[in-house]
């Protein structure tokens, strides 16, 4: 399902989905009409794309209403928004958004995000199908170690954490430094840099039950149950040191630019993991690409966004 008040955007989305074989796309210009169609059972959706700014109700409110329906608690919802609108992004994650795309976006990026979200749904269904075999709190959290370096698995693991354990979960988002956005690099060169950093980070010993993944491009995410500020800072510093010690460089024009890592921490607090992750990603992306290595903490006051 696509919900966007722009006919041009709807045509672009339909063409992008048709490219990868999605022919049964239901489009709505008005979010209230879309919500009524879902509640009445007139249409069903395996994935929902929704614009943030729309008449009647905005995309965040639409997302929250959808999450209130039993049949759509886990249905992937991708928000379409602007990169600078980070406050709205935080609200979207709080409302239950699965992912987001910044406008303007490329077809390939949309297709990749959709596949990732659908894999997430399949992974979550698989985990919940076997949840009857897990009886203890320790077993529920220990399962987080099953999936590594997989965005869909990472998201599914967060969603599978029982609400009573949310207050014990710390989150860290790492961002590669020294990669100017306007640099003349090919996609293959960028991918090679991301892989090199990922291999380095994969060698860092992690506390039990932590889960790590390459989230997207220059971002990496870490979820840490039973976390304290001290343990989060210690682990973040180990990741930063691993990259610094490797002395990696990125060639820019006639110079070599040293690569590093910075860390954005969300301390354990009683909030949904998706909300904390959204806050950390938003804060990490606000940093300039050339910001040096270091650690920043998302203030607790942002937890209510």
DSSP string, 125-185: HHHHHTGGG--SHHHHHHGGGG--S-HHHHHHHHHHS-GGGGGG-EEEEEEEES--TT---
pLDDT 10s digits, 244-279: 998 887 766 556 778 899 999 999 988 888 888 888
Domain termination residue (choose one: 119, 147, 182): 119
Annotate 172-230 with DSSP letters as a single string.
EEEEEES--TT----HHHHHHHHHHHHHHHHTS---TT-EEEEEETTEEEEEETT--HH
d(CA 256, CA 197): 16
For residue 144, what is the domain's CATH number? 3.30.70.270
**Per-residue model confidence (pLDDT) at position 35:** 93
Q: Are residues 152 and 183 in the same domain?
A: yes
Helix (H, G, I), strand (E, B) or coil at 87: helix
Helix (H, G, I), strand (E, B) or coil at 257: strand
For residue 79, what is the domain's CATH number? 3.40.50.2300
Q: Are residues 115 and 140 in the same domain?
A: no
Q: Are residues 197 and 273 in the same domain?
A: yes
Q: Are residues 170 and 282 in the same domain?
A: yes
* Distances 292 to 257, 259, 289 between C-alpha atoms, Å: 12, 9, 9
d(CA 157, CA 125): 11
Q: Are residues 145 and 99 in the same domain?
A: no
- Is residue 88 a part of any domain in this protein? yes
Q: Are residues 157 and 287 in the same domain?
A: yes
Domain termination residue (choose one: 90, 119, 148): 119
- Is residue 126 a part of any domain in this protein? no
75 neighbors 118 (Cβ within 8 angstroms): no
Q: Are residues 146 and 115 in the same domain?
A: no
Q: Is the whole-model pTM more than 0.85?
A: no
Q: Are residues 210 and 81 in the same domain?
A: no
159 neighbors 274 (Cβ within 8 angstroms): yes
- Is residue 166 a part of any domain in this protein? yes
Q: Are residues 236 and 91 in the same domain?
A: no
Helix (H, G, I), strand (E, B) or coil at 48: strand
Q: Are residues 98 and 44 in the same domain?
A: yes
157 neighbors 221 (Cβ within 8 angstroms): no
261 neighbors 289 (Cβ within 8 angstroms): no
Q: Are residues 92 and 157 in the same domain?
A: no
- Is residue 247 a part of any domain in this protein? yes
- Is residue 125 a part of any domain in this protein? no
Of the candidates 126, 133, 160, 164, which has an alpha carbon nearest to the alpha carbon of residue 145? 160
- Is residue 128 a part of any domain in this protein? no
**Per-residue model confidence (pLDDT) at position 113:** 80
Give the domain extent around 90: 2-119
- Is residue 283 a part of any domain in this protein? yes
Positive or negative, the Cα torsion across 238, 141, 138, 134? negative
- pLDDT less than 70: residues of the chain: 83-87, 90, 94, 123-124, 126-150, 152-153, 180-184, 208, 251-255, 288-293, 301-305
Count up the domains in the chain and report the number.
2
Q: Are residues 90 and 149 in the same domain?
A: no
- Is residue 169 a part of any domain in this protein? yes
């Amino acid at each position: 399902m696509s919900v966007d008040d722009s006919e041009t955007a709807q045509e672009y989305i339909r063409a992008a989905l048709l490219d990868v074989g999605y022919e049964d796309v239901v489009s709505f210009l008005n979010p209230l009409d879309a919500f009524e169609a879902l509640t009445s059972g007139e249409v069903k959706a395996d994935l929902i794309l929704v614009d943030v700014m729309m008449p009647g109700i905005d995309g965040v409110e639409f997302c929250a209403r959808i999450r209130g329906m039993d049949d759509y608690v886990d249905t992937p919802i991708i928000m379409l928004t602007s990169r600078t609108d980070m406050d709205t992004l935080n609200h979207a994650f709080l409302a239950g958004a699965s992912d987001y795309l910044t406008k303007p976006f490329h077809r390939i990026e949309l297709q990749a995000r959709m596949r990732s979200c659908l894999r997430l749904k399949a992974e979550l269904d698989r985990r919940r199908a076997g949840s009857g075999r897990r009886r203890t709190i320790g077993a529920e959290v220990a399962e987080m170690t099953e999936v590594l370096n997989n965005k869909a698995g990472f998201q599914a693991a967060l969603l599978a954490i029982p609400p009573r354990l949310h207050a014990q979960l710390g989150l860290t988002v790492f961002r590669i430094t020294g990669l100017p956005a306007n640099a003349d690099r090919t996609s293959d060169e960028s991918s090679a840099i991301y892989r090199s950093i990922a291999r380095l980070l994969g060698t860092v010993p992690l506390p039990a039950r932590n889960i790590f993944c390459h989230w997207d491009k220059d971002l990496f995410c870490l979820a840490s149950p039973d976390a304290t500020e001290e343990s989060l800072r210690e682990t973040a510093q180990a990741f930063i040191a691993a990259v610094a010690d490797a002395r990696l460089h990125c060639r820019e024009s006639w110079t070599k630019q040293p690569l590093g890592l910075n860390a954005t921490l969300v301390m354990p607090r009683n909030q949904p993991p998706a909300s904390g992750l959204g806050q950390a990603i938003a804060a990490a992306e606000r940093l300039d690409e050339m910001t040096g290595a270091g650690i920043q903490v998302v203030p607790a006051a942002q937890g209510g966004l």
